[in-house]
Amino acid sequence: MTTATQTHLPQTTEPRNDGMELDMDWVMSVQANTSAIERRAATLPGRRSVKKDYQAAWLARAITCIDLTTLSGDDTPGRVRRLCAKARQPVRADILEQLGLPHLQTGAVCVYHDMIATAVDALQGSGIPIAAVSTGFPAGLSPFHLRVAEIEESVKAGAAEIDIVISRRHVLTGNWQALYDEMRTFRAACGDAHVKAILATGELGTLRNVARASLICMMAGADFIKTSTGKESVNATLPVSLTMIRAIRAYHQRTGLRVGYKPAGGISKAKDAITYLALMKDELGNRWLEPDLFRFGASSLLGDIERQLEHHLTGAYSAAQRHPIG
Amino acid sequence: MTVKEIFESMDYGPAPEDASDALAWLVDQGDRFGHYINRAFTAPGDGFEAKNPATGNVLATLTQATQDDVDQAVKAARTAQPKWAKLGGHARAKYLYALARLLQKHARLFAVLETLDNGKPIREARDIDVPLAIRHFYYHAGMAQLMEAELPDRAPVGVCGQIVPWNFPLLMLAWKVAPALAMGNTVVLKPAEYTSLTALLFADICQQAGLPNGVLNIVTGDGAVGEMLTNSDVDKIAFTGSTEVGRRIREATAGTGKALTLELGGKSPYIIFDDADIDSAIEGLVDAIWFNQGQVCCAGSRLLVAESIAEDVYTRLKARMSGLRMGNPLDKCIDVGAIVDPIQLASITAKVDANTEGETFQTSAPEGCYYPPTLITGLHTASDLMQDEIFGPVLVSTTFRTPSEAVEIANNTRYGLAATVWTENVNLALDIAPKLAAGIVWVNATNLMDAAAGFGGVRESGFGREGGWEGLRAYTKPAKSPKPAANVTAFTGDKAPTDPVDRTAKLYIGGKQSRPDGGYSKPVWGKNGVLLGHVSLANRKDVRNAIEANASAAGWSKTTGHLRAQILYYIAENLAARGDEFANRLDAMQGGKKGQAEVDAAIDTLFTYAAWADKYDGAAKGVPIRGIALAMNEPVGAIAALCPDTDPLAGLVGLIAPAIAMGNRITAVASAPFPLAATDFIQILETSDVPAGVVNILTGDPTDLAPHLASHMNVDAMWSLNGHAAQIEAASISNLKRTWITDTPVAHIKPQDMLAHATEVKTIWVPYGE
């Protein structure tokens, strides 16, 4: 059984990244020039913009790439059901009808382990996969065997995607072998579930570390690399994204395998979503604009997109209360 | 396409900038423009069309200036200049500030009009050209404010004729106009005939700012108008454009006393070392050679890649090139726009088509005035395309093995405008940057520019700097102009020598005393008619040998200021020890009793420049990036100097000392009427640890020697305190060497001015951050 049959993802057409031997020569040759990366990131929004129907279409595409997320201590089944309902119907039906995209859904719903069962129930028949954050999220400092067990429990509970957190200390102490081994073990524990490796880039110190950690997680079999838990003080940024995306490109160039990318945290505006899509398109190509290779980890982004879509249709700026909350 | 179809295809789609305001401005002006003279637009006359290169549509009709128009403009500027200077720095600062503000208020109008007229992507006009132009006016408003306090010894040059190119029409206007006006000059500006519209909009802005009559005048037209302006009654010409036209302007202004700054072409190297962040280096190339369709004088057009990573770099680069979006320049989502004119397109096409070497990779271009981004790999330094400026979106490439080979290939060019270095190794970057023959070096970045940082080249890329304190030298002159030195002539006589033993005064070349190649000497008589000795008559072969020796002594430029100071002090010490002998010699040659005073003055000069040798500091510029822009004072290189006839010792020492203090090598031609102090000085040099070839001394007829020195392509600068301006300046076009001709007596030249002539400012940009 593959998870792809349960979801709408076209993963059956894309060979999964099974990783490779740890290649330390490659890892250590990786460079990331912060100033240059920041300059590219700073000019990108000015270089790429999409207007009118194109903007609406791109925003609709962004919705299909959202991991609609709730990761709060006060999550309850009721809260999660509401979120799942929003994932099924992310935008008012009349708006989607007018856009000619009536069956739009979000890419996934992302919750803590205890909420998986509720989500499975709420998303029954929708094809929307459930992603669970795992491995002692967000710090990743609980006992290792419990972190592995948590993955197994979540998969058993019905999560099709597992968002693991790496041990930042392995990066900060330069213990690359340990990072590789940890990721390998997590990947194995996931089985058929897809694994997203959260690097917590805000805690890795340098973009060079981000680039090296990205590469190692891919070598160890990550299906996605993801910026942040959303709980660090700095989450997804364009420079970090550019660094990780370039690592994905290098890995693809070397192995032919496509690894996905998930920026998470801090992306709350429709315009930001378009910039991220343009970044993916320019650096990696259109293939990476599909939800099996690109996700936004976001909670408030959808609301802004809804307002923009209504504005697109009516010509009048919209208001939050006109759109159902998720 | 429906939203659903776009949802599937994820194309960018059109994102056009609205041009209606800019087009409306043109209509408001009647779609026809005259010149802007004395704060008024003249009636439109016969002329030419301003076209949008992207569409071929006519935007407006412009007037070709006549001689009378140019004369009127220069006359207006001439009349306005004294009053403008007298207004004072603060008053001028207020005008410049107003211009900056008005540019900012109309920023989008300027950007759109620039794109319409030039074909550059609206993103570049909007995010780069216009903001940099605004910044230039703000910065120079500050310079006007500070002029009296900080530059008390400088005065405006007067009326400046300024000729700007079509690649950055408004930005180059700003670079020229802002410093000129700040320093109290008035201006006659000629924009390029392809792109005059933003200059005319700027004239409109000047009117709104109430800039007084005649302070800024604009005449439009082709190269013929440029020639008229060059030959008009201006005090200075500032030109940015091709090296070919720069040469013509140098020739036309030779001997006229007009000051000149030239910012010319380039074939700037872009070096990627094996430890570079390759993806970032490739992104940098987008900004280096595909910025403004490669029509950039400082474009990184010569890619030098470490052989070990070359294939990887080329593969990634080709992929990146395929992602460049080309088309309607007004589209906000376009990376590469239109070539400025079909003539330029034909020129680029012809150069690339003529090449038969290497492998050419091109993306596709739309129909019309577009040229596709192009990469030609596998070229060698011998290939024409590695040497000649293409001025289009064409990158040529070769490989290197070691850092020193990278430098060697990088410097294997007639040009020297800019250079880019990519490496994550700070040692390598800071080692390479000073070795590159360029006025600007970018480390791990490219095409960074700011008003605070000097911009300009070495070699055939021109001379003078734009931006920063150093840029103000181009628009000021010494406030005091002392009386020129009196003419002196050699004495004649027929009395026997007083010295019973015959002495042979030879030439000093490469650390050796040598007889003149031609085998001719001439007698030197004292005032009392006594034969003082004979001096050699150097010829062109001696010039050749001297410059060769200067070239061999290039290591001197790498010595420390401390060492050079020590040697200058040693020279002073040895001269002092033989002070009486020199004083007597000077008195015998010139008559009178001022010899001792001149010896004392020479020793004082040696102490002065020994003192400066380790104190002529560069600067860290306050540029608006996270990083540093270092302004390094580098030696000019090999200097040829004609010493003044007067002050035969102090004049010689007054040129040699600042030159070698800054690390230059110099070939000095001694005072013609009184050459024996210089030939005596050879012994001082020989005993003072001056390395062979650092200083050469020639004697002979300066009129014979000047053209050979001035045309020698391995001489970087020529100084003359002995006239011959027309000859020297005309001959200098061989390699566009810097020339400095003055009749100010050496004792009246301020050391800071001397040192400025002895150095070139190199700006090294080092963004940082981890």
Domains and CATH numbers, chain A: 17-316 (3.20.20.70)
Q: Tell me which residue in B6, B284, B332 faces A36 most closely, judged by beta carbons.
A: B284
pLDDT attached to residue B485: 86
The C-alpha of B620 sits at a distance from chain A's nearest C-alpha, in angstroms, of 18
Contact residues on chain A for B280, CB-CB shorter than 8 A:
32-33, 36-37, 40
CB contact under 8 A, A57 and B444: no
The predicted-structure confidence for B86-139, as pLDDT tens digits, reads as follows 999 999 999 999 999 999 999 999 999 999 999 999 999 999 999 999 999 999
CB contact under 8 A, B2 and A32: no
pLDDT attached to residue A12: 52
Q: Nearest chain B residue to A29 by CA: give it.
A: B275
Mean per-residue pLDDT of chain A: 95
To the nearest whole percent, how much of chain B has pLDDT over 70? 100
Mean pLDDT over residues B188-197, rounded?
98
Q: Nearest chain B residue to A98 by CA: give it.
A: B3
The predicted-structure confidence for B621-673, as pLDDT tens digits, reads as follows 999 999 999 999 999 999 999 999 999 999 999 999 999 999 999 999 999 99
Distance CA B36, CA B471 (A): 26
Mean per-residue pLDDT of chain B: 97
CB contact under 8 A, B323 and A38: no
CB contact under 8 A, A101 and B4: yes
Mean pLDDT over residues A6-25, rounded?
78
Q: Is A35 on the interface with B (CB under 8 A)?
A: yes
Give me Rg for the CA atoms of chain A.
19
pLDDT attached to residue B398: 98
pLDDT at B183 over 60: yes
The predicted-structure confidence for B505-540, as pLDDT tens digits, reads as follows 999 999 999 999 999 999 999 999 999 999 999 999
A-B Cβ pairs (cutoff 8 Å, strict): 104
CB contact under 8 A, B1 and A53: yes
Q: Is A41 on the interface with B (CB under 8 A)?
A: no
Q: Is A63 on the interface with B (CB under 8 A)?
A: no
The predicted-structure confidence for B238-253, as pLDDT tens digits, reads as follows 999 999 999 999 999 9
Contact residues on chain B for A46, CB-CB shorter than 8 A:
123, 126-127, 332
The C-alpha of B21 sits at a distance from chain A's nearest C-alpha, in angstroms, of 20
The C-alpha of A229 sits at a distance from chain B's nearest C-alpha, in angstroms, of 22
Mean pLDDT over residues B168-175, rounded?
98
Residue B682 in tokens: 């050879």
Specify whether the CB–CB gap between A115 and A140 falls below 8 A: no
Q: Tell me which residue in A33, A51, A60 faces B424 most closely, judged by beta carbons.
A: A33
**Residue B412 pLDDT level (bands cut at 50, 70, 90):** very high
Q: Nearest chain B residue to A52 by CA: give it.
A: B15
Specify whether the CB–CB gap between B260 and B250 falls below 8 A: yes
**B500 or B479: whose pLDDT is higher?**
B479
- Best residue of A29, A35, A215 to probe chain B, by most B CBs closer than 10 Å: A35
Q: Which residues have C-beta within 8 Å of that of residue B108, sequence separation ≥ 6?
A: B21, B126
pLDDT at B498 over 90: no
CB contact under 8 A, A32 and B277: yes
Q: Tell me which residue in B14, B323, B768 faces A282 most closely, judged by beta carbons.
A: B323
Contact residues on chain A for B15, CB-CB shorter than 8 A:
49-51, 54
* Rounded (10°) angle between helices B676-686 and B579-590: 160
Mean pLDDT over residues B53-64, rounded?
98
Distance CA B161, CA B748 (A): 29
Q: Which residues have C-beta within 8 Å of that of residue B659, sequence separation ≥ 6?
A: B639, B641, B665, B666, B758
SS3 B360: strand
pLDDT attached to residue B504: 83
- Active-site residues of B, by number, are 263, 297
Specify whether the CB–CB gap between B487 and B645 falls below 8 A: yes
**Residue A7 pLDDT level (bands cut at 50, 70, 90):** very low
- Best residue of B1, B123, B280 to probe chain A, by most A CBs closer than 10 Å: B280
CB contact under 8 A, B127 and A58: no
pLDDT attached to residue A14: 83
Q: Which of residues 85-144 of A touch B (CB under 8 A)?
A: 99-101
CB contact under 8 A, B770 and A207: yes
Angle subtended at Cα B111 by Cα B93 and Cα B138, rounded to the nearest 5 degrees: 15
pLDDT at A10 over 70: no
Specify whether the CB–CB gap between B731 and B741 falls below 8 A: no
**Residue B697 pLDDT level (bands cut at 50, 70, 90):** very high
Specify whether the CB–CB gap between B171 and B133 falls below 8 A: yes
**Residue B501 pLDDT level (bands cut at 50, 70, 90):** confident
**Where does B151-242 have alpha helices with state H?**
169-182, 197-209, 223-230
Distance CA B669, CA B644 (A): 9
Contact residues on chain B for A280, CB-CB shorter than 8 A:
none
Q: Of the given ranges (B17-21, B162-166, B454-458, B486-490), which has the lowest mean pLDDT?
A: B486-490
DSSP notation for B308-330: GGHHHHHHHHHHHHHT--BS-TT
Q: How many Cα atoms within 13 Å fall on the side-chain side of residue B316?
A: 26
Mean pLDDT over residues B261-283, rounded?
98
pLDDT at B560 over 90: yes
Q: Tell me which residue in B7, B276, B768 faces A60 most closely, judged by beta carbons.
A: B7
CA B583 to chain centre: 41
CB contact under 8 A, A100 and B4: yes
DSSP B730: H
Q: Which residues have C-beta within 8 Å of that of residue B735, sequence separation ≥ 6?
A: B414, B459, B460, B713, B714, B715
Q: Tell me which residue in B2, B277, B333 faces A31 most closely, judged by beta carbons.
A: B277
**Residue B502 pLDDT level (bands cut at 50, 70, 90):** confident
- Diameter over CA atoms, chain A: 56
SS3 B455: strand
The predicted-structure confidence for A146-200, as pLDDT tens digits, reads as follows 999 999 999 999 999 999 999 999 999 999 999 999 999 999 999 999 999 999 9
Q: Tell me which residue in A35, A46, A253 faces B767 most closely, judged by beta carbons.
A: A35
CB contact under 8 A, A49 and B332: yes
Q: Nearest chain B residue to A64 by CA: give it.
A: B7
Q: Please count the other Cβ atoms lying within 10 Å of the Cβ belonging to residue B518.
A: 14
**Phi then psi dihedrals of residue B740, to 5 deg:** -140, 110
Contact residues on chain A for B10, CB-CB shorter than 8 A:
57-58, 61, 277, 281, 286, 289
What residue type is assigned to position A33 of the chain? N
pLDDT at B549 over 70: yes
Q: Is A286 on the interface with B (CB under 8 A)?
A: yes
Q: Is A212 on the interface with B (CB under 8 A)?
A: no
Q: Which residues have C-beta within 8 Å of that of residue B48, sequence separation ≥ 6?
A: B61, B62, B64, B193, B221, B222
pTM: predicted TM-score of the whole model, two decimal places: 0.96
Mean pLDDT over residues A44-55, rounded?
96
Mean pLDDT over residues B375-393, rounded?
97
Distance CA A33, CA A42 (A): 14
The C-alpha of B278 sits at a distance from chain A's nearest C-alpha, in angstroms, of 8
Q: Which residues have C-beta within 8 Å of that of residue B332, sequence separation ≥ 6?
A: A46, A49, B15, B16, B17, B122, B123
pLDDT at A221 over 50: yes
pLDDT attached to residue B503: 80
CB contact under 8 A, B15 and A50: yes
CB contact under 8 A, B13 and A282: no
3-state helix, strand, coil in chain B (%, to 5): 45, 20, 35
Q: Judging by beta carbons within 10 Å of its beta carbon (0-12, 13-18, 19+), is residue B495 exposed, middle or buried?
A: exposed
pLDDT at B156 over 50: yes
Contact residues on chain B for A282, CB-CB shorter than 8 A:
323
* Dihedral (CA of B730, B731, B734, B736) sign: negative
Specify whether the CB–CB gap between B167 and B297 falls below 8 A: yes
Q: B interface toward A at CB cutoff 8 Å?
A: 1-7, 10-15, 123, 126-127, 275-281, 283-284, 315, 323, 332-333, 335, 422, 424, 444-445, 625-627, 767-770
DSSP notation for B106-164: THHHHHHHHHHHH---HHHIIIIIHHHHHHHHHHHHHHHHHHHHH-TTEEE--EEEEE-
SS3 B393: coil
**Residue B486 pLDDT level (bands cut at 50, 70, 90):** confident
Strands B665-669 and B259-263: unpaired
Find residue A75's DSSP bridge partners: none
- Taking CA atoms, A13 is separated from A10, A257, A262, B40, B661, in Å, by 6, 12, 20, 70, 72
3-state DSSP of B51-100: ECCCCCCEEEEEECCCHHHHHHHHHHHHHHHHHHHHCCHHHHHHHHHHHH
Q: Tell me which residue in A33, A46, A101 faces B444 most closely, judged by beta carbons.
A: A33
The C-alpha of B288 sits at a distance from chain A's nearest C-alpha, in angstroms, of 13
The answer to whether the bond into A138 is cis (omega within 30° of 0) is yes
Contact residues on chain A for B312, CB-CB shorter than 8 A:
none
- Active-site residues of A, by number, are 163, 226, 262
DSSP B451: T
Q: How many Cα atoms within 13 Å fall on the side-chain side of residue B221?
A: 24
- Best residue of B10, B312, B625 to probe chain A, by most A CBs closer than 10 Å: B10
Contact residues on chain B for A278, CB-CB shorter than 8 A:
12
Q: Which residues have C-beta within 8 Å of that of residue B372, sequence separation ≥ 6?
A: B326, B362, B363, B364, B365, B393
What residue type is assigned to position B169 of the chain? P
**Residue B452 pLDDT level (bands cut at 50, 70, 90):** very high
Residue B695 in tokens: 């200083």
ipTM: 0.96
Q: Tell me which residue in A31, A48, A52 faces B276 most closely, judged by beta carbons.
A: A31
Contact residues on chain A for B428, CB-CB shorter than 8 A:
none
Distance CA B274, CA B423 (A): 7
